[in-house]
Amino acid sequence: MKNEFFKLVLPLFAVCMCSGADWPQFRGPLTNNVATSEAPPSKVDAENIAWSADLEGRGASGPIVVGNKVFVTCTTGFKQDQLHVLCFDTETGKRLWKRQFWATGRTQCHNKMSVATSTPASDGKRVFATFSSNDVVCLDLDGNLLWIRGLSHDFPNASNSLGMASSPIVVGETLIVPVENDDDSFTTGLDVKTGIARWKIKRPRIANWTSPTILKSGPEAEALVLLQSSEGVDAIYPETGETAWQFEQGAGRIPSTTVGENILFVPSNGLTALVPGTSSEPPKVLWKEQKLSPATASPLVYQKRVFTVNRAGVLSCGSLETGEIVWRLRLKGPFSATPIAASNHLYLVSEKGLLQVVQLSEEKGEVTGEIDLKEMILATPAISNNSLFLRSDKHLWKISSK
Amino acid sequence: MQRCSILLCLMFLMSFSASVWADEVEQHIAKIKQVQKEGQGNLAASQAVQQLSKMDSTALIPILSSFENANPLAVNWLCGAFEAIAAKAIQQKKLPAKKLEAFVLDTSKNPRARRLAYETLIKVDSSAADRIIPGMINDASVTLRRDAVQRLIDEAKKLEKSDKKDQAKKVYQRALSGATDSDQVKAIVKPLRNLGEKIDLQEHFGFLSDWMIVGPFDNREKKGYAAVYAPEKNVDFSVELEGKEGKVNWKSVNTEDDYGIFDVAKSISPYKGAVMYCAADFHSPQKQALEIRLGTPNAWKIWVNGKLLFARNEYHRGMVLDQYSVPVTFQPGKNVILLKLCQNEQDDSWAQRYQFQLRIAHPSGTGVRSQKPEATTQLAP
């Protein structure tokens, strides 16, 4: 009974530790790309840049925000083997601290990617940064090292010559770190206090760049973590790594599953919508739609619609119930960053650094503002403090109302 | 007399507290250095690193010194404590800059500790780079050496632009003597060759260019990776073997590629679902710990003198120089390197490469060539 109580309460506690304004991990507090109580600027131009801060080296990881601090990771050195975690003041953009470590695993990756492609995560007290070398660093919010793991040091065949990109998530007292690749492929749940593995499960032996997603079917329901791979989606219990259910119809290895309105949107056969059963029952297929097939960016669910971006940079809006296309809008792509949403707008940043704001209505989407940041941006932005935070290799920007 | 006693007592107390403090630092460091794989020792190390991070700047040099003999995980823990203390010291203007510089210049110290000391030093003294880096052209620290090489490349380029070709050539040659990163080597070799210089890059990097090769053996459905074919049991170049498509024999091959690439698909056949075995000798004048550095888009296993060193079951995720670094201890005399190279059956256009490049290097990246057999002591049979 006690264990059951903690299983229910701890995930909620972790989410509560981050204030409402925080963006504590890849795709936000609920890993669904949405900031519910935020109002970043809807009509943007260059004057909305509140500040920009210099970064060094390479980094395709997204920024995260905890309180009045924004955290980013990057790597330097010819082999990108110097790993950095940086912290900036959200108000001023002043760099508060920087810590560096050496990669203990392989740092080879595709030229477009970086060894710092995984977005860090936070439980509100600690920051967890992971890198393509499978080093996992845990610092407090002031930059003091709490623990560090070298997962490729421990398991030398856990690596990907094209680079690792999956972002970790925190659920309760567990940091979930996917290390999925062609050889020694696994996902592990690390104790947030010590870095020691609570569990480690074998995963399909194929390179995988997707990130875990939180599924919480209702206020009283137990949180599950969705692990996507070429074989489909496994829902696991975050405390133990045990499997609750499996969806075995295959899935993509780049864009990740998104949950919205208690429906799973899986990049599988185009896009597949799944309705979850009870915690141990496999979900049922609601619909499949090829026209909603996402490219690199993950799907987004917002205001009872599902949105995807295809290879041609076309934003598609689909019905949640049927998958039918409601409207389409050609944007200036291509996109690697996942679109995010707040206050009736979508925010999409192209690989060329063009931030485009799309205002939503029932019948259409309309671009209401653009800022050309003129640098390659692959990282998904963060929304916090009614502002957007974006990063390239060279800069971190805060975009706010004037 | 009383004053003198008080003074002595004070001196004793100060000396005693300094000694206690130093002991405390050493104890924290010792706990951190006990961290091992899979989080072993993390709990104690976590407490120790948090205590150590609160120490003042006098702990900086002991922390750097402790990198010696620390495993790579412990080095990162120590690095975290060092950076926390150094950040405070910089803010309080108490960074021991002279001691850090002396540490950087002491080549007996750990290369990564020296690099960390250097990067910390230049935060408070940007002129330190001009004093320190030019002397690092053959340093054991890969990153310090890289900075020194870059300075020479920049200098040579300027000389070349000023039409001082002879001087430029000499500076490029000096730069090449320390260069191991492929981007820098390319930036040096192209102008040097244009200036008429002959450069043996295979020698520079320590590539093995002469191989004995046999195959194909069966790797359909990627089953050949785990299969144990005859060369894994015994490397005997005189024996005819049963291959995938009939009898096969070892044959001698060679590559003249600058970067030691031997292309099985182009030079022999674009086999699919195949295993090839490649063998080469490395003659070492003494027992030495080096690295085998391999690049290949194919799955592979590698043995030295019959001992399996590493295996990697990954296909077509790219190939770069020094893609894999495998530590090895070579014995005096002849050492036999056996590489198993597996090709899968993918028909995508990007999945047709069947090639490898293999070099021997010091951990610092400097290439090591095989010595002539007569220059080495042969292993007893």
What residues are paired with A387 via a beta bridge? A384
Is B28 within 8 Å of chain A by CB? no
Is residue B132 in a domain? Answer: no
The label of the residue with tokens 């070492």 reads B284
In the predicted model, is pLDDT for residue A8 greater than 90? no
B257 within some domain: yes
Q: Is the pLDDT of residue A16 over 50?
A: no
Tokens coding B64: 């750097």
Residues B157 and B64 in one domain: no
**B30: containing domain:** 2-126
What CATH number is associated with residue B368? 2.60.120.380
> Which among B39, B84, B317 has CB closest to A144?
B84
Residue ending a domain, among B66, B94, B126, is B126
**Residues on chain A touching B38 (C-beta within 8 angstroms):** 154, 196-197
Residue B137 within any structural domain of the chain: no
Structure confidence at residue B375 as a pLDDT band (50, 70, 90) = low
- For residue B10, the model assigns a pLDDT of 63
Instruction: Please say if the pLDDT value at position B115 is more than 50.
Output: yes
Residue where a domain terminates, one of B67, B92, B126: B126
**Average pLDDT value for chain A:** 92
Rounded-to-integer distance, Cα B298 and Cα B314, Å: 6
Q: What is the pLDDT, as a whole number, of residue A46?
A: 83
Domains contained in chain B, number = 3
* Average pLDDT across chain B, whole number: 93
* Three-class DSSP category at A169: strand
**Interchain pair A197, B39: CB under 8 A:** yes
Confidence (pLDDT) at A192: 98
Q: Chain A partners of B50 at a C-beta cutoff of 8 Å?
A: 144-146
> Which structural domains are found in chain A, ordered by start?
2-30+45-397 (2.130.10.10)
Say if residue B209 is in the same domain as residue B328.
yes
Tell me: pLDDT of A4 over 50.
no
Q: Is the pLDDT of residue B378 over 90?
A: no
Please say if the pLDDT value at position B66 is more than 70.
Answer: yes
Check residue B379 and give its pLDDT.
47
Mean pLDDT confidence for A112-136: 97
B31 contacts in chain A (CB < 8 Å): none
Average pLDDT over residues B161-190: 96
Residues B244 and B289 in one domain: yes
Q: Is the pLDDT of residue A17 over 70?
A: no
Number of A/B CB contacts below 8 angstroms equals: 112
Share of chain B above pLDDT 70, in %: 92
Is residue B52 less than 8 Å (CB to CB) from chain A? Answer: no
Spatial contact of A198 and A174, defined as CB atoms under 8 Å apart: yes
Q: Quick one: B260 and B367 in the same domain?
A: yes
Q: Is B210 within the bounds of a domain?
A: yes
Looking at the structure, tell me whether residues B98 and B183 fall in a common domain. Answer: no
Provide the ipTM.
0.92
pLDDT of residue A6: 41
Q: How far is B212 from chain A (nearest CA, A)?
A: 27
- Domain for residue B315, yes or no? yes
Is residue B76 one of the residues assigned to a domain? yes
Give the separation between CA A166 and CA A160, rounded to whole angstroms.
12
Residue B80: closest CA among chain A residues belongs to which residue? Answer: A145
**Contact between chains at B39 and A195 (C-beta distance less than 8 A):** yes
Whether residue B80 and residue A99 make contact (CB cut-off 8 A), yes or no, is yes
Question: In the prediction, which pLDDT does A19 show?
Answer: 44
Cβ atoms of A271 and A264 closer than 8 Å: no
pLDDT, one tens digit per residue, over A205-261 is 999 999 999 998 877 888 999 999 999 999 999 999 999 999 999 999 999 999 999
Contacts of B112 in chain A (CB under 8 A): 102
User: Which of B29, B46, B323 is best to mutate for the A interface (most A CBs within 10 A)?
Assistant: B46
Q: In this structure, are B210 and B347 located in the same domain?
A: yes
Please, which residues bridge with residue B247 across strands? B242
Judging contacts by C-beta atoms under 8 Å, the chain A residues touching residue B323 are 106, 108, 161
Spatial CB neighbours of B48, under 8 Å, sequence gap ≥ 6: B27, B28, B29, B31, B32
Please check whether residue B380 lies inside any domain of the structure: no
- Model pLDDT, residue A26: 96
Residues B85, B209 within the same domain: no
Place of tokens 């030691």: B260
Does position A401 have pLDDT exceeding 90, yes or no? no
Q: What is the pTM of this model?
A: 0.92
Q: What does DSSP assign to residue A265?
A: E
A45 — pLDDT class (breaks 50, 70, 90):
confident
**Tell me, what's the pLDDT at B187?**
97
Q: Inform me whether the C-beta atom of residue B83 falls under 8 Å from chain A C-beta atoms.
A: yes
CA atoms within 13 A on the CB side of A379: 34
Q: Name which of A215-224, A304-313, A350-359, B140-149 the model is least confident about.
A: A215-224
Q: How many H-runs (helices) and E-runs (strands) does chain A carry?
A: 2, 32
Summarised one tens digit per residue, pLDDT across range B347-362 is 999 999 999 999 999 9
Q: What is the mean pLDDT of residues B284-295?
A: 96
The DSSP 8-state label assigned to residue A324 in this structure reads -
A2 has a pLDDT exceeding 70: no
DSSP assignment of B170-230 equals HHHHHHHHH--SHHHHHHHHHHHHHTT----HHHHHTB--EEEEEEEEE-GGGGGGT---H
Identify whether residues B367 and B245 lie together within a single domain.
yes
Model pLDDT, residue B2: 66
Is B318 a domain residue?
yes
Choosing among B32, B185, B314, B342, which should be mutated to test the A contact, i.e. which has the most A CBs within 10 A?
B314
Each residue's pLDDT tens digit, A272-322: 999 988 767 889 999 999 999 999 999 999 999 999 999 999 999 999 999
Both B233 and B371 in a single domain?
yes
Chain A contact present for B364, CB below 8 A: no
Distance from CA of B302 to the nearest CA of A (A): 14
Average the pLDDT over each of A25-39, B52-66, B331-345 and give the range with the smallest value.
A25-39
Query: Do both B221 and B275 map to the same domain?
Result: yes
User: Is pLDDT above 80 for B373?
Assistant: no
Mark whether B186 and B209 lie in a shared domain.
no
CB B333 within 8 A of CB B273: no
How much is the average pLDDT of B220-241?
96
Given B199, B214, B245, the domain boundary residue is B199
What is the pLDDT, as a whole number, of residue A165?
96
For B242-282, the pLDDT digits (tens) are 999 999 999 999 999 999 999 999 999 999 999 999 999 99
Question: CA neighbours within 13 Å on the CB side: how many for A319?
Answer: 9
Q: Are residues B216 and B261 both part of a single domain?
A: yes
How confident is the model over B325-352, as a mean pLDDT?
96
